[in-house]
Amino acid sequence: MAKLQKSIEKREALLEATLNLINSGGIQEASMSKVAKLAKVSPATIYLYFENKQDLINKLYLDVKESFSKKAFEGYEEGLPVKKSFEKIWFNIANYKITQRAEACFLSQCDNAPLVDMESRREGLKHLQPLLELWARGQEEGIIKEMSNYVLYAYTIYPLAFLTNTEISVYCQLNKSSLEEAFQAAWDSIKV
Amino acid sequence: MAKLQKSIEKREALLEATLNLINSGGIQEASMSKVAKLAKVSPATIYLYFENKQDLINKLYLDVKESFSKKAFEGYEEGLPVKKSFEKIWFNIANYKITQRAEACFLSQCDNAPLVDMESRREGLKHLQPLLELWARGQEEGIIKEMSNYVLYAYTIYPLAFLTNTEISVYCQLNKSSLEEAFQAAWDSIKV
Amino acid sequence: MAKLQKSIEKREALLEATLNLINSGGIQEASMSKVAKLAKVSPATIYLYFENKQDLINKLYLDVKESFSKKAFEGYEEGLPVKKSFEKIWFNIANYKITQRAEACFLSQCDNAPLVDMESRREGLKHLQPLLELWARGQEEGIIKEMSNYVLYAYTIYPLAFLTNTEISVYCQLNKSSLEEAFQAAWDSIKV
Amino acid sequence: MAKLQKSIEKREALLEATLNLINSGGIQEASMSKVAKLAKVSPATIYLYFENKQDLINKLYLDVKESFSKKAFEGYEEGLPVKKSFEKIWFNIANYKITQRAEACFLSQCDNAPLVDMESRREGLKHLQPLLELWARGQEEGIIKEMSNYVLYAYTIYPLAFLTNTEISVYCQLNKSSLEEAFQAAWDSIKV
DNA sequence: TATGAATGAGTATTCATTCAT
DNA sequence: AATGAATGAATACTCATTCAT
C-alpha cells in the first residue's frame, strides 16, 4: 500500500530525473549523482531500482516508448477505413510529440545516438506492429504504395520528429493548419 | 610547406578520431585521451589545435557539415528547372549519406542530441541556403506547396537520415530502385 | 525450543557464510550484504546477532579456534608419556587441517593479516594451554629441548599450516606416509 | 636523468605506501586514495605507474620477493659444503625477516590471504630455485632426508615467518642465542 | 525477531585539462 | 609545435550500517 506506492513514486522520480537531465544536456550531463540529486534520493538508492546506469536508461526508454505507443493507438479501431485510421494514428503521434516534448526528444536522442542497447531497441520496435498491419492492409487495397515499411515510416512518422524537435519548434510552431498541411504531405508521399 | 602540411594532417587525424569514437560509442566513449591515442598524439597536443573538448566537437561538426554541403550541391546549377535541380540535390544527399555513413550518422547524432553548441548549429544551417532558394523558386512557379521550409525539409531530406541510419540500413538496403521509390515519395509529398 | 534452535541455526549460517566468503576472496569479498545473501537473511538481521562487522569476524575466529582446539585435544589424556601424547595431538591437528581445510585456511589468514582484533587473538591463544603444559613436562623429563614455547610451536605445529595450505596442497598431497615423515621432522626438531 | 629519477622515486613511494598501509591494516585499509595520500600524489597518478589496484599489489609482491631473495642468497657460493651453505642462507633469511620486518610481514600476508594473483605467486616462487638445488645436493650426499621440497621448506624456512611475526616477536625476541637454537631445530628436522 | 528500503561516506577508476620541458 | 607526467574533480558503483515497520 503506502510503501509500495512510495516505491513506485521513487522509481518514477528517478526515471523523470534521468529524462530531464538527458534531454537538457545529453548523457554526459546525466551522471548518477545528478540523477540522484534531482530525484532527491541518495546515489545508492538508484541501485535499488536499477541494476546500473545502462539499465536505468534502457528501462526509461522502454517506459517512454510504451507511453508513446499507448497514445499513438489511442482510440484506434481496426474496422475503420485505412486512410481514416492512418489519420487517427498520425495525429495521435503528432499530438504526443507536441505535448510530451521532453519524451519525444528523448526518443529521438535514443534513435540517433548509442544510448540504449540493442535488445531494448528491438523490444521498443514491437509497439509499432498495428501500424505496420494497417499499411499492409492499405497496400492490399491498392491505396498505399508498395514500399517497404521503413520507407513508409521515414516519410510519414519520422518527419514529425524533426518538426517537433526542440530547436526547430522554436522557429516553426505547429498550429492546427500547419499540422493539417504536414499530414497532407505525409499522406501524399505514400498514397498511390 | 612540409611543416604546415603535417600540422594540417594532425588536425584532421584528430577530427577523424573524434568522429569515429563518437560514432561507435557516443560522446561518452570519446574522451580526450582516447581521441589522442587514436590520432597518435599526446593529449596535450589536442589543445594546440582546439580550445577544449566542446570546441573540438563544434569544429568537427562544422567540418563535416561543410563536406556534406559541398557534396549536396555538387554539379548543381541555378539555371535548370526546379524539379531537375531538386532531384540532383536530393540524390547528391542520398549518395553522401550512403557512402559517407560515418559522417552522416555523426550529423544525425548532432541534430538530435545536445553535442554541439547553438552557435555552431546555426552556422551549420547556413549551408542549406541554395536549397531554400530553390524551394522558393518552386513555390513562385506554383510547383511546390506553400509550406514552410521546415516542413519541406522534414518530408524530403530528413527521411534520408532514417533510411541510411546504421541500424535501419541493415534491414533496408537502398538499391537503385528503392532509392527512386524514395525520391518519388519525397517529391510527391511537396509537389503541388 | 524451535525458536531458539532456529536462532542458533541462523547465527551459524552467518558464521559459515562469512568463513566461506573470506576464504575464497579475502575480507574484501566478504561484504555484509554478500554474507547476508549467502546466509539467506536480510543485511539488517546480521546486526541482531553481531554488533558489527569486526565483531562478526572476531566471533567467527573464536568459534573456529574453539572447534579447532576441541579436535586438537580429542582423546588426549594427561597421564600418557610425553612423546605419545604429543604424537596424538600433532596428528589430531594435522587431521583437522586436512579435513577442515576451510577453517584451517581461515585461521591462517587471521594469523597473518590484521583481520581479528588483539583481544580475540589473545583469547584464541588460551586454547593451546594443554600443549604448552605437555611441553613443559617434556622439558622437565629432559626429552624436549629447552626452547621457548614459541620456537617449539614454530617447528612442530606451524609447519602444518604451510603443508595444508590450499595452494601448496595441490602440489603436495599429504598421504599417510608423508604425514609420518612430517611428524618425524617435527619431533626431530624439538627432541633432545 | 632528473626526470627519470623522480619517476622512479614516485613509483617507489607508491609501493612503500602500499606496503605500509597493507601491513598496518590489511588491504581493507589500503584504499587507492589512502595510498595516494601517503605517497603524496594524486589518486590519478597511481594509474600512470600501475594498471590498477591488483597490478599495484602484484608488482609490490614481486618487488619485495625479489629484494628478499637477493638478501637470502647474498654471499652464497655453490661450491661450499651443503650444511655450511644452508646455514648461510638460513641466517640470511632470518636476518631479512628481523631487520625488514614490514616486508616480511607483507610476504606472510600474501602467502596466506588471496591478495596476489596466481601468476605473480608462481613468478615469486622461482626465486627459491637455488635453495631447492642445494637440498637436492644434500639428498644426493645422504645428508638430508628424502622428503619433498615442500616439507623441507615447511620445517626450515616457514617457521621463521612465525617467529618474526609482528605479534609474536613482541613476546619472543630473537637474540643471537635463540637464533642459533632455532637454526639447530631447523637442521635437526631435516638432517638424516 | 526480522526485514527491505534507505543512505552518506566510501570505493576504484577516468576525466578534461595544464604545465614543465 | 609537441609531449609525458601530473592532477583535482568527477565518474559509476558499493559499503557498513540504520530505521520504520
Instruction: Please tell me which chains touch D, using 3 or more CB pairs under 8 Å as the contact test.
Output: C
Dihedral of CA atoms D144, D145, D149, D155 in degrees, nearest 10, equals -90
- Which one of D31, D106, D112, D167 makes the best mutation probe of the C interface by having the most chain C beta carbons within 10 Å? D112
State the Cα–Cα distance between residues B185 and C6, nearest whole angstrom. 74
Q: In chain D, what residues touch C172 (CB-CB under 8 Å)?
A: 148, 150-151
pLDDT band for A61, please (50, 70, 90 cuts): very high
Please check the confidence at residue A1 and state whether its pLDDT lies above 70.
Answer: no
Q: Which of B108, B121, B150 sits opposite A112 (nearest CB)?
A: B108
| Cross-chain CB nearest to A151 (options B148, B163, B190) | B163
Q: Do chains B and C have 3 or more beta-carbon pairs under 8 angstroms?
A: no
Q: How far is C144 from C153, CA to CA, in rounded Å? A: 12
Q: Is pLDDT above 80 for C85?
A: yes
CB within 8 Å: B185 and A147: yes
**pLDDT tier at D153, thresholds 50, 70, 90:** very high
Contact between B57 and B115 (Cβ < 8 Å)? yes
- Find the Å distance, CA of residue C97 to C1' of nucleotide F10: 48
- Beta-bridge mates of residue A191: A144
Would you say residue C62 has pLDDT above 70? yes
Please tell me the distance in Å from B40's CA to the nearest CA on chain A.
25
Could you identify the residue whose CA is nearest to the C1' atom of nucleotide F2? Answer: B45
CB contact under 8 A, C112 and D115: no
**Average pLDDT, stretch D17-27?**
96
**Is pLDDT at C165 greater than 90 in this prediction?**
no
CB contact under 8 A, A114 and B25: yes
The pLDDT of residue D123 is above 60:
yes
F12 C1' closest Cα residue: A32
Residues in D closer than 8 angstroms to C101, CB to CB, are none
Query: Which grid coordinates belong to B137?
Result: 523558386
CB contacts, 8 Å: B145 with chain A: 181, 185
What pLDDT is stored for residue B175 in this prediction? 86
Q: What is the pLDDT of residue D90?
A: 98
- Mean pLDDT in chain B? 94
pTM of the model: 0.93
By C-alpha to C1' distance, F16 is nearest to: C32
Range with the lowest mean pLDDT among B118-127, B144-153, D34-43?
A: B118-127
Instruction: Give me chain A's average pLDDT, please.
Output: 94
Q: Does the structure show a pLDDT above 80 at C109? A: yes
Query: According to the model, what pLDDT value does residue C1 have?
Result: 52
Give the CA D2 to C1' F1 distance in Å: 24
Burial grade of A189 (CB within 10 A; 0-12, 13-18, 19 or more): buried
D3 vs B53, residue with greater confidence: B53
Q: Distances in Å between the alpha carbon of D6 and those of A82, D14, D20, D45?
A: 78, 12, 21, 13
On chain B, the residues whose CB falls within 8 A of the CB of A112 are: 105, 108-109, 111-113, 161, 165
The residue to which cell 539467506 is assigned: C40
C21 CA to chain D: closest CA distance, Å? 11
A50 Cα to chain B: minimum distance (Å): 20
Please answer whether residues A85 and A133 qualify as being in contact, where contact means their C-beta atoms are separated by less than 8 angstroms: no
Segment (H or E) for B165: none
pLDDT of the residue at A34: 98
C-alpha D179: how far from its chain's center?
18
The per-residue pLDDT for C166 is: 75
Q: Do C155 and D159 touch (CB under 8 A)?
A: yes
Q: How far apart are CA D117 and CA A106, in angstroms?
A: 45
Nucleotides of F under 7 A from a protein CB: 1-21
Cβ(A56)–Cβ(A18) under 8 Å? yes
Taking the C-alpha atoms of residue A31 and residue A28, their distance in angstroms, rounded to an integer, is: 7
Q: Which residue of A has its CA nearest to B182?
A: A151
Structure-block grid coordinates of residue D40: 603524496
Chains B and D touch (3+ CB pairs under 8 A): no
Element (H, E) at B78: none
Q: Which residues of A touch B28 (CB under 8 A)?
A: 27-28
Q: In this predicted model, what pLDDT tens digit does every residue of A108-165 receive, in sequence order?
A: 999 999 999 999 998 888 999 999 999 999 999 999 999 999 999 999 999 999 999 8
Q: Which residues of D touch C125 (CB under 8 A)?
A: none
Are the beta carbons of A26 and B114 separated by less than 8 Å? yes
Q: Would you call A124 helix, strand, or coil by DSSP?
A: helix
Cell 515499411: give the residue.
A149
Contact D145 C181 (CB under 8 A): yes
Answer yes or no: is pLDDT of B1 > 60.
no
Residue B3 has pLDDT above 80, yes or no: no
In 10 A of CB A44, how many CB atoms? 9
Amino acid at C135: W
D14: nearest Cα among D124, D41, D24: D41
Q: Which chains touch B (3 or more CB pairs under 8 A)?
A: A
Ramachandran angles phi, psi of B144, nearest 5° = -115, 140
Name the one residue in this structure whose C-alpha cell is 600540422: B7
pLDDT band at A27 (very low <50, low <70, confident <90, very high): very high
Distance D102 CA to E9 C1' (A): 30
The C-alpha atoms of residue A67 and residue B148 are separated, in whole angstroms, by: 30
Contact in structure between B14 and B42 (CB atoms under 8 Å): no
Q: Specify the residue for cell string 657460493.
A: D77
CB contact under 8 A, C111 and D109: no
Quick: pLDDT tens for A75-110. 999 889 999 999 999 999 999 999 999 999 999 999
d(CA C27, CA C115): 8
Average pLDDT estimate for B176-180: 91
Tell me the per-residue pLDDT of D83-94, one tens digit each, with 9 for 90 and over: 999 999 999 999
**Mean pLDDT within C30-59:** 98
Helix C101-112, helix C82-99: angle, nearest 10: 100
For residues C95 and C37, the answer to whether their CB atoms sit within 8 Å is no
Inform me whether the pLDDT recorded for C172 exceeds 80.
Answer: no
Q: To the nearest whole number, what is the mean pLDDT of chain D?
A: 94
Residue B98's pLDDT is 93
pLDDT in tens, B11-24: 999 999 999 999 99
Pick the closest to residue C30 from C40, C41, C13, C18 (CA basis). Answer: C18
The answer to whether A144 and A190 have CB atoms below 8 angstroms apart is yes
Q: Give the C-side interface with D, CB within 8 Å.
A: 24-28, 105, 108-109, 111-115, 121, 145, 147-148, 150-151, 153-155, 158-163, 165, 167-168, 171-172, 178, 181-182, 185-186, 188-191
Residue C122 has pLDDT above 80, yes or no: yes
CA of A44 to C1' of E7 (A): 7
Cβ contacts (< 8 Å) between D162 and chain C: which residues? 150, 153-154, 158
